[in-house]
Copies of this chain bind each other. A is one copy, B any other.
Amino acid sequence: MYLTIGKTSVNAPAHIKISDHPSNPAEKLMAMAKSDMEAVNGIILERMKSPVGMIPDLAEHLVAAGGKRLRPLLTIAGGHLCGDVQPAHHKLAAAVEFIHSATLLHDDVIDDSDMRRGRKVANRIWGNSASILVGDFLFARSFNLMVETGSLRALDILSTASSVIAEGEVHQLASLRNVKTTEATYLEVISAKTAALFAAACEVSAVITDIGEAKTDALRAYGQNLGLAFQLVDDALDYGGFEVALGKSVGDDFREGKLTLPVIRAIQSANSEELAFWQRVMSDRKQESTDFERAVSIIRRRGTLESTLELARDYAREARTALDVFDDGDWKKTLMLLADYVVDRIS
């Protein structure tokens, strides 16, 4: 099959393909949490409202486009795992989705993206200014929702996660086009920009249920490791070494000069010719039409997609192990399967 990058296409290799996962655990969780997620959805739609029409229009464009609702689903599933889902879980799940949506709106302005969730990005329709401001609006609304739960601890966890996310995004920005970016820096960045919200989404579910520190820490660790695995796979997917059935375009990170693990590791083992290539396309961002194909071919030769997925698998294992402290049951089992699925969906 062909993968689209900008206006060019690259031939995807056949050796890694998307699995027909017999039972997609994300979908299974969504089905198990159906009535809760409907309540969450109701809150999301209600709180996007504003007399200023541009706000619901723009917010709906993003939120109605769907997305996986993975983060709020974690808050709900975490509540069930702890044996108790309360209205506060619904509000916090909606708050988590609002924080995520706000960062997406701002990211799309920053990355100068074209598409998101198979649709034109909001800033291409309403302009960058509107996307920045509606992001701010959703972010503020997320705090309104948290306040309504009356849980200062949940507020603490999610406001800290929000500042860590912004910190991670700035860190990523400061590392752009730097071919000397280390694995440690990369892991710090994805830990902050992605895993922090997964971790917080899980942790607040335990805090509301008030299930004790050990299980709260366990849920946080599950979310953190799941988030790391998720981002590693996302970054591997951007080099399209897979038959992608995800409606995701490839090459965005490459085009932006974003140093992700597949490239960082390819640079580590680069010969002088390859190093010159990475410097030209990443640091100098002088990219020609065949350069992405060449990047994919170097990455394939160096096996760094596989090693990136291997690291993702390690984190998925950590995520599963974290849930050991919980009694066996359907929620635990499906959350454990989800950790594997985050990686296996493409291998």
A162 to B98, CA, bound (A): 14
CA gap between A333 and B3 in the complex, in Å: 70
Nearest chain B residue, comparing its CB with the CB of A55: B170
Main secondary structure of the interface of A (DSSP, over half): helix
**Copy count, this protein chain:** 2
Q: Are the C-beta atoms of B53 and A130 separated by less than 8 Å?
A: no
Given contacts A110-B133, A136-B139, A139-B136, contact A174 B144 (CB under 8 A): no
A246 is an interface residue with CB less than 8 A from chain B: no
- In the complex, chain A residues 137-159 whose Cβ is within 8 Å of any chain B Cβ: 137, 139-141, 143-144, 146-147, 150, 152, 155-156, 159
- For residue A106, CB closer than 8 A to chain B, the reply is yes
Which residue of A50, A135, A166 has the most chain B CB atoms within 10 A of its CB atom? Answer: A166
Q: Output the least CB separation between A76 and chain B (Å).
A: 23
Which residue of B128, B129, B155 contacts A147 across the interface (Cβ within 8 Å)? B155
* A-B contact list, 20 entries, CB within 8 Å: A50-B167, A50-B170, A51-B167, A52-B167, A54-B170, A55-B167, A102-B136, A106-B132, A106-B133, A109-B129, A110-B128, A129-B173, A132-B132, A133-B169, A134-B166, A134-B170, A136-B169, A137-B166, A144-B156, A147-B155
